[in-house]
């Protein structure tokens, strides 16, 4: 477990913070996920009309929906869909009722 790093801030996974795994061993921690949520899900108005397809670090698909780019590691992206999936997984873990449907 000590080898698992967040792809977006390279912080090692510790038990006191949530970490969500992507499909190919990539990971995002709760802190980065919060930042990603704010910039993708919450920022509904600011769409990316001229978005070029960008490879999402979590699902490895070329995505044209909104993506969050890591400020510290610009090669790391997470797409809107993965943000939603990861947030749901974290909410399950933490019993965070605020994001539950």
**Site residues (vs Zn ion, CB under 5 A):** 6, 8-9, 29, 32, 56, 58-59, 79, 82
Minimum CB–partner distance for residue 88 and Zn ion (Å):
14
Minimum separation from the CB atom of position 45 to Zn ion (A)? 21
Q: CB of 3: closest distance to Zn ion in angstroms?
A: 15
Q: Is the dihedral of CA 42, 43, 48, 54 positive or negative?
A: negative
Q: Which is nearer to Zn ion, 32 or 90 (CB)?
A: 32
Helix (H) or strand (E) holding 89: helix 80-94
């Amino acid at each position: 477990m000590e080898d698992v790093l967040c792809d977006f801030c390279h912080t090692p996974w510790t038990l006191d913070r949530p970490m969500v795994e992507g499909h190919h061993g990539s990971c995002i921690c709760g802190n980065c996920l919060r930042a990603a949520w704010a910039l993708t899900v919450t920022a509904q108005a600011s769409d990316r009309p001229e978005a070029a397809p960008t490879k999402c670090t979590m699902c490895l698909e070329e995505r044209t929906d909104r993506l969050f780019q890591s400020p510290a590691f610009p090669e790391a992206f997470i797409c809107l869909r993965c943000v939603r999936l990861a947030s749901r997984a974290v909410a399950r873990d933490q019993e965070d009722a605020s994001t539950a449907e």
